[in-house]
Amino acid sequence: MSLKIINPATEELIKEVPTDTKDTLKHKFDSLRAALPAWKKTSVRDRILMMSKFADLLRENKDRLAQILSDEMGKPLNEALGEIKASAVKTQFFLQESEKHLRKEKVNHDGSTEEYIAYEPLGVIANISAWNYPYLVGVNIFVPALICGNAVFYKPSEFSTLTGIEIEKLLIEAGFPSSIFQLAIGAKEVGQALLELPLDGYFFTGSYATGKHIATTVAPKLVPVGLELGGKDPLYVTDQVISLKETAESALSGAFYNNGQSCCSVERIYVHEKVYDEFLGHFLEAASKLKVGNPNEKGITQGAISRFEHLNYLQNQVTDATSKGAKLELGGKIIKGPGYFFEPTVLTNVNHQMDVMKEESFGPIIGIQKVVNDEEAIKLMNDTDYGLTASVYTSKRNRGEEIMEQIDAGTCYLNCCDRVSGYTPWSGRKNSGLGMTLSFHGIFTFVKPKALHLRQQH
């Protein structure tokens, strides 16, 4: 069996890659398990040195890696380059902070007994990954997992397999033993086969539907499960912003960067009625300058949609909205091939009866809704099954913070959007996920604490 890697911008076959079978997966699992005891004995410092080398290799190879990524998933070359550089930066947090957090710590002295907390790796874990930012979302998981001493079974998405193969090569070049990071190559069936193996933890990035399936399937194993899932992230523009033009440009970037194929893309915008018309004018002006086309060409802001089937999904969201009274301000159609392209699309006169305001679009579509006050904005922002991120734009910090306190999302932004930092926890609420990555919380995700009560014999 093999996996056909298709360039979504040209529909050309890039490569065919042999896929794993249940037998090869079992063999790889056995070698991960066998390598674990020696790997656990390496020091955190040595693992950090290897990871630091990996980050250097990402930087050194960035042009080549960016081309591979852009070719297989369709994002503009400069965005692919930006992702790789940002991944190396994001890795810094774990390089700087892991050792201090993983150190055995004396927490109490109770008479003749010393009490410690020590940390041990989970074991052999699965990292089942997505294609939209394979480097950035990988850094959330395999980087801390390896530093913590786990062996990692990494399943790249079938839409970013070549990138997964490059990641493995660079990790080995950086000094990681080949047996502690193994690839599971293939699509859904290969992911499903990983669920049947006796892994010690499952860490997944992808859609709510798959995440729920994974969590429920592996539940009887009683092992840790981490889910980084989708979002329907809102952005609210209050009537107190210093520049509506800058606000509109920032919101536009949040909605359309990576063709809207980001878990924390801005997926719906609410604008205070006092500034609505002016905001919309600026937004449409900026949106009309977006350029769709060959991801290799300079000046292209919108590359290809990565998955062919998603074109119809996007078209259906537009049709659903317009049939219920939405106004199509811009775009709205699949662009004729070759390649999978969709016009940057702006809908107004939208409401929460429409899929475009409730279901994740994961594409270059945005709905903009007018609101009368903060109360209505907060109600609408929370009217969702998801809870990944939310943004508020206002020059009044107190007003912004008060609004953010009332939003049920793992991350809130004031006057910015669509950003992730290694220093803050990344977690989704409701259907956006389970567990946490990044920050010191995202180190502890990959270890088991052990309580030690030590009494000296006299």
* Residues designated catalytic: 228, 263
What own/partner pairs with CB < 8 Å and gap ≥ 24 does 1-6 have? 1/186, 3/158, 3/161, 3/185, 3/186, 3/187, 5/72, 5/161, 5/162
Quick one: CA torsion of 346, 347, 352, 355, rounded to 10 degrees? -70
Considering only 92, 192, 240, 253, the residue that binds ligand NAD (CB under 6 A) is 192
Q: Kindly state whether residue 157 participates in binding ligand NAD, applying the rule CB under 6 A.
A: yes
Q: Kindly state whether residue 263 participates in binding ligand NAD, applying the rule CB under 6 A.
A: yes
Q: What is the DSSP string of 255-314?
A: HHGGGG-STT-EEEEEEETTTHHHHHHHHHHHHTT--BS-TTSTT--B---S-HHHHHHH
Residue in the shown chain whose Cβ atom is closest to ligand NAD: 191
- Residue position matching structure tokens 């429409």: 354
CB of 227 vs ligand NAD, minimal distance in Å: 8
Answer yes or no: are the C-beta atoms of 393 and 238 closer than 8 Å.
Answer: yes
Q: Kindly state whether residue 158 participates in binding ligand NAD, applying the rule CB under 6 A.
A: yes
Considering only 66, 68, 81, 137, the residue that binds ligand NAD (CB under 6 A) is 137
Signed CA dihedral, 5, 8, 11, 12: sign only: negative
Q: Kindly state whether residue 155 participates in binding ligand NAD, applying the rule CB under 6 A.
A: yes
Element (H, E) at 15: strand 13-18
Q: Is 111 left (phi over 0), alpha (psi -120 to 50) or beta?
A: left
Based on CB atoms, which residue is closest to ligand NAD, 264 or 371? 264
Count of CB atoms situated within 10 Å of the CB of 247: 24
CB of 169 vs ligand NAD, minimal distance in Å: 19
Q: Kindly state whether residue 267 participates in binding ligand NAD, applying the rule CB under 6 A.
A: no
Q: Kindly state whether residue 431 participates in binding ligand NAD, applying the rule CB under 6 A.
A: no
3-state secondary structure of 455: strand
Q: Kindly state whether residue 238 participates in binding ligand NAD, applying the rule CB under 6 A.
A: no
State how far the Cα of 333 lies from the Cα of 342, in Å rounded to an integer: 6
* Region near ligand NAD per CB under 6 A, out of 55-63, 80-88, 131-139, 443-451: 131-139
Based on CB atoms, which residue is closest to ligand NAD, 98 or 210? 210
Based on CB atoms, which residue is closest to ligand NAD, 35 or 162? 162
Token pair of 396 as six digits: 């009044």
One character per residue 372-401, x = contact with ligand NAD (rule: CB under 6 A):
----------------x-------------
Q: Kindly state whether residue 362 participates in binding ligand NAD, applying the rule CB under 6 A.
A: yes
Signed CA dihedral, 341, 347, 353, 359: sign only: positive
Based on CB atoms, which residue is closest to ligand NAD, 230 or 400? 230
Q: Kindly state whether residue 206 participates in binding ligand NAD, applying the rule CB under 6 A.
A: yes
User: Interface residues with ligand NAD (CB under 6 A)?
Assistant: 128-132, 137, 155, 157-158, 187-188, 191-192, 195, 205-207, 210, 213-214, 228-231, 263, 360, 362, 388, 428, 433
